[in-house]
Structures are given as structure tokens and as C-alpha cells.
Amino acid sequence: MNRSCLAIILAAGEGTRMKSALPKVLHKIAGLPLVCHVVRQVQSAGVDEIAIVVGRGADEVSSAVKNVSARAQFFTQNLRLGTAHAALEARELLKKDYDDVLVVFGDTPLVQTASLKRARQELEDGADIVVLGFETENPTGYGRLIQEGGKLKAIVEEKDATADQKKIKFCNGGIMAINGKYALSLLEQVKNDNAKKEYYLTDIVSIGVAQGLDVTAISIPFENVIGVNTRVELAQAEALWQKRKADELMLSGVTLLRPETVYFSYDTEIANDVVIEPNVYFGQNVKVETGAVIHAFSHLEGAIVEAQAEIGPFARLRPGAIVENSAKVGNFCEIKKAKIGEGAKVNHLTYIGDAEIGRHTNIGAGTITCNYDGFNKWKTIIGENAFIGSNSALVAPVEIGDGAYVASGSVITDKVPANGVAFGRARQSNKEGYAATLRERFSSIKNKDG
């Protein structure tokens, strides 16, 4: 598309219906603030400039947006006088004669690049104002699209709608594409003579119609324009996003045994032929390579699971965990900032933190890397083909060489050389027949509380 485009994202609203100390657009779905979802989709729609109108929590909103867009520009709306008033805060950019102006709300996180491109295509085909609408059985709260003879005439907000208008099920999705020639003047003509005494962006429709502009509405699925105003809608948007992600992954070759029970982050990357069992949680920044299996009830965050590796059930991978090819991390194991080498096994009840474990090493049940002394974190380095006996405490900083063997129940505080055996525990001593003597002695003692 050769047309120039300005996108204005409105994110200054109070968000009172969220009943939250956090600005509405910073509430998250899939681990990413609502407004950042919008910014990411808008960026891919071939826009030249992005204006973000901020108000409540301006600093926090701006810094969240900067994490996903280096080129967004910020405009502050000091008084929250409505969506048209908010869009006009970007006046300086509206004056620049863009071919297309997109106005998108920061609280519609499921908007898709394809819908934005479609609206721009309508402009290219001759429309002056394009409204993205949707059909719903439950239109309460949304602006209703009033059509006459198949043409869009006006948008009426819930609070201003008559009983008959409230029955209309074709609603405003909150995304508009406007011919850049008219955008500024249309917005400047909006008045606030309505129930909320606000300057409604939606009024540019009737203003445009009165001026003889070509105004049109296109219908897109509700799933793409759900607006988040309450925590109920936040949960609905999250569920829709998760369903979309799960479908996308399955179509790309990932097996999800119970897709509706798995939680993904916006950036979760999973290769084909990975199998994911029920009730798995992916926090931010997780990558799973082909053929790996994630068993039920595992919790992963900031981790890389390489090809054919196996995680869980009930495993926790924390940031910095790297589980190399064909390695295994089993039930009730926690891995933090640690590399588990190719083919190594950490199968039961273990904590490995700030560590490197070499290829094909076996870590016995209940092994703990004691990485923290109350002040600093220290590293444990274990070589290849080593064997750590069950219930060992490895007190870092400590090194265990290739092929070394640590006896079960050891507390290891010093380096174990390659191929050495370390016993870090008291030796067992047996007293033949002594049990009978003990029993006699204990039975003759009378405990005064007993």
C-alpha cells in the first residue's frame, strides 16, 4: 500500500469500571498490557506514525508502550473529555496530511492487523470514514450502528440510545479509518451535547454523512474487537486470546491434549511435534523445541526446552533454565538460571539454581544446590557423566568434576575431582543385637507426662 498512514491509539481513559489502582490499558492478557497488544497489531498494518494518547498513569503507560514500540509518540490528555477530544490531542500529527488516519482504542486488545488493513483498503477504494462493527447478541455498553438503506448514518452510544435503538445488535468495535483530508476538521466539529457531556469520536459519522462524505461500516467478528471495560470482559478477552493461540499452535503441528487448560504468554514459542499435557502454564519468554514433551501441571517461565527434552509432571522452570536436548526434569523439580546438559536427568524432588550440569549426568532424588548464603548467590558446576546420590546438598560455590560420584545424603562443600568419589556424611555403624537392650531400657523409663 502506497498511502501514508497515521494511527492514533487512545489510552487515556479513567477505566473506572475496572475498579483498579492500575490504569485500565495496563491490565494484561497473555502477560502483555492491553495497549501493547494494540500497538503490536497497529505496527504491522503499515503505519508511518503512531500517536498514543495517554492520561491516567501516563508515565507507566508510556514506558509499557516503549517496550514494544521504539517509534510511538505520546500525547497527554489532561482532561478526560471523551474519545474525540482524546484523538484531537494528536492535532500536530493530524495536520500533516496523511492519506489515512486510523483511530484505535487501547482497550480492544484482540484487534488484528488484517482488520486494520481491510479498513485502509476501504479508504483506498473511496470511502471517507470506515467503522469496524460487529454483531452480538449482547450489545449492552457498545455504541449502536444506525443504518438506513444499508448505509451507516450515525452511531448512538448506549446512554443516549432510545429503547428501539438499544435493540440493535450491530455495534461499534471502536476502530475507525478516516480519510486524512477530513480527519482534523471532522473531529473539530464534534460537540458534547449528549448524556455524558463528552466529545464522542463516534459523532464524526453523522457529521460526515451531513457533509455528504462516503461513510461505511464493515462487519468483523466480535472476537477481534471485544472491548475491555470490566474484569469480566478482561477474562473474556483472555479466553478468546488463549483459544486463538492454542488453535494457531495446533495448526502449526503442536499437540495439546486439552487445549483449554493450557495458558500461553503472548511470546510463547513452541515448535512442531511438541506434546503438551493438560494444565501447563507458560509465563513470558519460553521456547520449546521440536519433539519435547511437557507433562501435566508444569509451570515454565523464561526457559528454553530443547528438542526431545521432557519436563514434568509438576515441574517448575524459572527464568534462565535451559534444558538441553533429550534431558529430563521430572516431578517436583525446580530449575532456576541453570543449564541441564544434553541427556542429563533431574528426575525427582530437586532444586537446581545457579548451576551448570554436564551431559548425561544423573542428579538423584532430593538433591539441592544450596546457592544462597543469605547475602549472595553462588554457582554449582557439575561435569559430564557424573552421579549425584539422592538427598545430597551441594553447597555453592562448588565444582564436581566429570564422571565423579557423590554418595547419597552428602553435604558437599569442597570441589570433587573428576572421577573421584565424595562421601560427605557420617559413616554408618551397626551394633549387633543392641535393639533388645534399647527396648528394655526405654520401657523401664516412666515419663511423668505419659
Residue 28 touches ligand UD1, criterion: CB under 6 A: no
At 225, list the grid cell: 474487537
Cβ pair 112, 224 in contact under 8 A: yes
Where do the DSSP E strands lie in 198-261? 215-219, 255-256
Q: How far apart are CA 158 and CA 229, in angstroms?
A: 14
Residue 271 touches ligand UD1, criterion: CB under 6 A: no
Q: Which residue is nearest to ligand UD1 (CB)?
A: 143
Site residues for ligand UD1, 32-61, by CB under 6 A, read 53, 55
Residue 81 touches ligand UD1, criterion: CB under 6 A: yes
286 binds, among ligand UD1, Mg ion, none (CB under 5 to 8 A by kind): none
Residue 319 makes CB contacts below 8 A (sequence gap 6+) with: 285, 301, 302, 303, 336, 337
Residue closer to Mg ion, measured from CB, 123 or 175:
175
Cβ pair 294, 312 in contact under 8 A: yes
Encode 219-241: b = buried (16+ Cβ within 10 Å), e = exposed.
Answer: ebebebbbbbbeeebbebbbebb
How far apart are CB 188 and ligand UD1 at their closest, in Å? Answer: 16
Site residues for ligand UD1, 94-113, by CB under 6 A, read 105-108
Residue 86 touches ligand UD1, criterion: CB under 6 A: yes
Phi, psi of 358 (to 5 degrees): -75, 175
Integer-rounded Cα Rg, in Å, for the chain is 31
CB count in 10 Å sphere of residue 436: 8
Residues near Mg ion (CB under 5 A) are: 107, 227, 229
Residue 161 touches ligand UD1, criterion: CB under 6 A: no
Is the Cα torsion angle 87, 66, 25, 118 positive or negative in sign? positive
How far apart are CB 227 and Mg ion at their closest, in Å? Answer: 4
Phi, psi of 43 (to 5 degrees): -60, -35
Residues that contact ligand UD1, how many (by CB under 6 A): 31
Cβ pair 170, 150 in contact under 8 A: no
Residue 369 touches ligand UD1, criterion: CB under 6 A: no
83 binds, among ligand UD1, Mg ion, none (CB under 5 to 8 A by kind): ligand UD1
Residue 175 touches ligand UD1, criterion: CB under 6 A: no
Report, as residue numbers or ranges, the catalytic residues. Answer: 348
Site residues for ligand UD1, 186-225, by CB under 6 A, read 200-202
Cβ pair 197, 191 in contact under 8 A: no
Q: How far apart are CA 144 and CA 134, in angstroms?
A: 10
327 binds, among Mg ion, ligand UD1, none (CB under 5 to 8 A by kind): none
Q: Which residues are annotated as a binding site for acetyl-CoA?
A: 365, 371-372, 390, 408, 425
How far apart are CB 230 and ligand UD1 at their closest, in Å? Answer: 10
410 binds, among Mg ion, ligand UD1, none (CB under 5 to 8 A by kind): none
Residue 157 touches ligand UD1, criterion: CB under 6 A: yes
Residue 341 touches ligand UD1, criterion: CB under 6 A: no
Place of cell 498490557: 33
Q: Which residues are annotated as a binding site for Mg(2+)?
A: 107, 229
* Candidate residues 5, 13, 237, 296; the one interacting with ligand UD1 per rule CB under 6 A: 13
Residues engaged in binding ligand UD1 (CB under 6 A): 10-13, 25, 53, 55, 77, 80-83, 85-86, 105-108, 142-143, 155, 157, 171-174, 200-202, 227, 229
